[in-house]
Structure 1
Amino acid sequence: MSDDTIRLVTIGRILRRRWRLLTVLAVVGALVGYGTSLLFPPRYTTSASVLLPGQWEERELLTQAEIATSSVVVDRAAATLRWPGVSGRELQDRVSAKAADGNIIRISGTAETPERAQRLSDQVAQQFVAFAARLAGDSTDPGSAAGPDALRKMVVQTSRRITDLAEAADPGQTVESVQARTELEKLRTALQDAVKKLDEADPATDRATMVVMGPASRPTGEAAPTRTQFIVAGAVLFLLLAVVGHLAAARVSRRLRTAPEIAAALGSALLGTVDVPGEGPGRHTEGRGPRARIRRLLGVDTRWDVPDPQPSGGEAGRRIRYRRVCARLRDRLPGSRRLLVVVPDGDEIARRAAGQLVSEAEDDASPASSGRGYPVLRAVGVSVSRPLVPDRDTESGALVVLSAGSWTAGELAGIAEACADAGHEVVGFVVAGAVRGRPTRSAGRPADEAAPALAGRGHATGGSV
């Protein structure tokens, strides 16, 4: 897994084999999300729309949206609302504005209740219209409106004075009188053009007063994030963290999966691979007590990172593999010898394979057997945490049976050292794998019935590593 690409089939295998644990974690995440939602009171949001008549550019609308949420407007709204303990700075965090299509500024307010949210939006909209009108000159300040009107009156009076001067000029046709009247007419025309440009430049001529398009609607639902969203987010977050945790653990796993790695850790050679019928991945935790029951209940006693078992080739093909292993042992040990079949505790697949291997060696002991001379095998279980192998007595060697991807290099090296400490030479190892399909009954004993009980560790007298 450390070198494999993460694929959808890997994630599917996690969901299929660890669905109980993932369900529990999702429920825990939902509870955490519910508890987090209690720390955040519900909030409600509503909007009030302000229409800006006339021609407006996009940057001008953005400026008006900034003005709507400015401290001047929000402070005036806070002073009008007079909510206890709520200042203009706090309200500024609850108010937002954006420019919409059609020269509309949409002002949104958020509060703890629907009534407050509605009042906040309406009040900010009204204060924005009043402040914008004051900026545009449409206010009650007499000094701001008297300037253009006084200038127009002065232009009218000047135009009348020019007319009087033109009539009082020499009515003759002298050059001087004609030039004087011409200059007066030019001055009148210039003043009229100036008044016209002043009227065109006045924003009040082409932009009417901003209008609040009705009161804000009272919100009927909470603003995001709601309590339901907190619960769903907590469940999804814990589920994702669990999946990512499984993938990360598999990435950093040091369990050996290939024959060369296992051979290097045990310091021995591979004698063959055998198959064990089984419908699912092997279980590596056997025991009693509350912790073991909880692990079985959550499904964490089942390996998820092992591939699905391949279809079985039939009992005959499986027995051929066991016989080939026995034949290689006979060739490696010409004389009839006794060997210990060492199986790591918790490796259910290896335990069943060792039982079948012992059964095949016993079946060959009859005089009519064509393969007479197989070593006599005895299976023993060894703890990987404190490996202890029986001392050398009648057995003069050890055969290690294990499943791939189950043990680290350090654990296998500990088993090899325990064998050496007990005086047993590791003559080789056998890799067992699970296959789909139930074994058919043959004339001989079934594999499960033929598996002898592993030797108890309490009777071992060898050293430990």
Structure 2
Amino acid sequence: MSDDTIRLVTIGRIFRRRRRLLTLLALVGALVGYGASLLFPPSYTTSASVLLPGQWEERELLTQVEIATSSEVVDRAAATLRWTGVSGTELRDHVGVKVADGNIIKISGTADTPERAQRLSDHVAQQFVTYAARIAGDNTAPEAATGLDALRKKVEETNRRITDLAEAADPGQTVESVQARTELEKLRTALAEAMKKLEEADPATDKPGMVVMGPAARPTGEAPPTRMQLIVGGALLFLLLAIIGHLAAARVNRRLRTAPEIAAALGSVLLGTVDVPGERPAHRPEGAGPRARIRRILGLDTRWDIPTPQRSGDEASRRIRYRRVCARLRNRLPGPRRLLVVVPEGDEIARRAAGQLVAEAKSDPSPGSSSGGHPMLRVVEVSVSHPMVPDRDTESGALVVLSAGSWTAGELAGIAEACADAGHEVVGIVVTGAVRARPTRSADRPPENATLALAVPVHATGGSG
């Protein structure tokens, strides 16, 4: 798993095999989101629209946005609202301004109640229009308007004087009189064009005044994040963290998954691989205690990072694998011997496979043998954290049976050292895996005494047994 690419099938496997744990973590995340919603009071947001008639460039609109959020506008709005304990600086954090399509500026206000949010938006919009009009000079430059009117009167008097001069000129058709009248007409035209340009440049007639497009609508719902959003977000966050945690744990997992790696860690040879039906046994000795019950309820007692068991052949084909392992084991030994079948404690699949090996060794199906062809096997479970194998007594050798992907190289090396310390040579290794069993034929089932024998292993206590 540590070298595999994370695929959707891996995520699906996590959801299938850890659904109870993921459901519990999602509920915890939802409770955390609910608690967060209690710490943050609900807020409401609404906006008022201000229309800017005429032609406006983008930089001019951005300038108006800065004006709307300036301290001058917000402080004036705070003074008109007269909210206790709320200054203009604090109010500025609850005001937002943005440019919409069609030269419209939207001024939004956020407050703890719908009424206060509506009042905040309306007051800021009104103060913005008033302040922008003052900057444009609508109300603060009466002397400029007076000067412009005086200039118009002066131009009119000049035009009348030009007309008098043209009439007083020599009515004859002399060159001098024609040139004089032509120059006077040019002067009249120049004055008219200058006056037209002056009127077009008048700021009072450049852009019409801004208009507030009605009062802000009273909000009917909370502004995000709402309580429901916090609850859902907390559940999704915890669910995502749980999945990431599973993937990270699988990435750093150093458990051996291939038979050659397992054989190298134990320093022995591989005798073969066998299959065990993947159904859970009815009795689980390791399921005692409240911690084990909690792990079983949450589904933590089963591995999630192993692939879904493949469908195997019938029971007869599985027994053939066990018989071949027994035959290879018999061929490696000089004569009939008693061996310990060492199974790591907690490896349920290996324990069941070891019991089946014991049953096959006792059945001794080889022709011409009188129960002395196969070695005599006795199953012992060894703790991986503190491995202890019974001392050499009637048994002289160890056969290690374990499932793939369950143990690290260090743990297997500890088992090999415990076997050597007890005087047992590891004569072989059998790797087992879970499969989905097919319906079996009654003729291929093992004897009843063999089935009972494989269910009762002997736990190692450090002495011979």
2:429 and 2:15 mapped to 1: Cα distance?
Answer: 33
**Which residue number corresponds to residue 45 of structure 1?**
45
Say yes or no: does 1:239 pair with 2:239.
yes
Number of matched residues? Answer: 462
**Which residue number corresponds to residue 143 of structure 1?**
143
RMSD: 2.5
Question: What's the CA shift string for 1:28-57, capped at 9, x where partnerless?
Answer: 111111111222221111111111222233
**Which residue number corresponds to residue 77 of structure 2?**
77
**Which residue number corresponds to residue 117 of structure 2?**
117
What TM-score do you get using the length of structure 1 for normalisation? Answer: 0.92
SS at match of 1:110: strand
SS at match of 2:84: coil
Unaligned 5+ runs, structure 2 = none
Deviation of residue 151 (structure 1)? Answer: 2.9
2:86 and 2:170 mapped to 1: Cα distance?
Answer: 77
SS at match of 1:433: strand
Say yes or no: does 1:363 pair with 2:367.
no
1:260 and 1:282 mapped to 2: Cα distance?
Answer: 33
**Which residue number corresponds to residue 188 of structure 1?**
188
**Which residue number corresponds to residue 27 of structure 1?**
27
Deviation of residue 165 (structure 1)? Answer: 4.4
Alignment of 1:1-400 (within 5 A): 1-167=1-167, 176=176, 178-205=178-205, 207-279=207-279, 286-364=286-364, 369=369, 372-400=372-400
Deviation of residue 290 (structure 1)? Answer: 2.0
Say yes or no: does 1:460 pair with 2:463.
yes
2:281 and 2:203 mapped to 1: Cα distance?
Answer: 80
Q: Which amino acid aligns with 2:410?
A: G
Deviation of residue 367 (structure 1)? Answer: 8.4
Deviation of residue 246 (structure 1)? Answer: 0.2
CA contact (8 A) 1:269 1:428 kept: yes
* Deviating more after overlay: 186-195 vs 53-62: 53-62
Describe the shift of the 1:24–1:400 C-alpha distance in structure 2 as closer, same or farther (beyond 3 A): same
Describe the shift of the 1:37–1:452 C-alpha distance in structure 2 as closer, same or farther (beyond 3 A): closer
SS at match of 2:128: helix
SS at match of 1:310: coil
Question: What's the CA shift string for 1:326-378, capped at 9, x where partnerless?
Answer: 00011100311110000000000000000000010011189854885111100
* Deviating more after overlay: 182-191 vs 325-334: 182-191
2:145 and 2:283 mapped to 1: Cα distance?
Answer: 90
Question: What's the CA shift string for 1:219-276, capped at 9, x where partnerless?
Answer: 0101111111111111000000000100110011010001121111101111000111
What TM-score do you get using the length of structure 2 for normalisation? Answer: 0.92
Question: What's the CA shift string for 1:85-113, capped at 9, x where partnerless?
Answer: 22222222222222222222221111111
Deviation of residue 186 (structure 1)? Answer: 2.2
Deviation of residue 398 (structure 1)? Answer: 0.3
CA contact (8 A) 2:341 2:399 kept: yes
CA contact (8 A) 1:282 1:348 kept: no
Say yes or no: does 1:451 pair with 2:454.
yes
Describe the shift of the 1:141–1:202 C-alpha distance in structure 2 as closer, same or farther (beyond 3 A): closer
SS at match of 2:330: helix
* Deviating more after overlay: 369-378 vs 110-119: 369-378
Q: Which amino acid aligns with 1:62?
A: L
* Deviating more after overlay: 249-258 vs 94-103: 94-103
Identity rate, percent? 78
Deviation of residue 311 (structure 1)? Answer: 0.9
Q: Which amino acid aligns with 1:304?
A: W
CA contact (8 A) 1:49 1:214 kept: yes
SS at match of 1:107: strand
Q: Which amino acid aligns with 1:445?
A: E
1:394 and 1:243 mapped to 2: Cα distance?
Answer: 50
Question: What's the CA shift string for 1:137-184, capped at 9, x where partnerless?
Answer: 322542343343333233233333434444555666665555444333
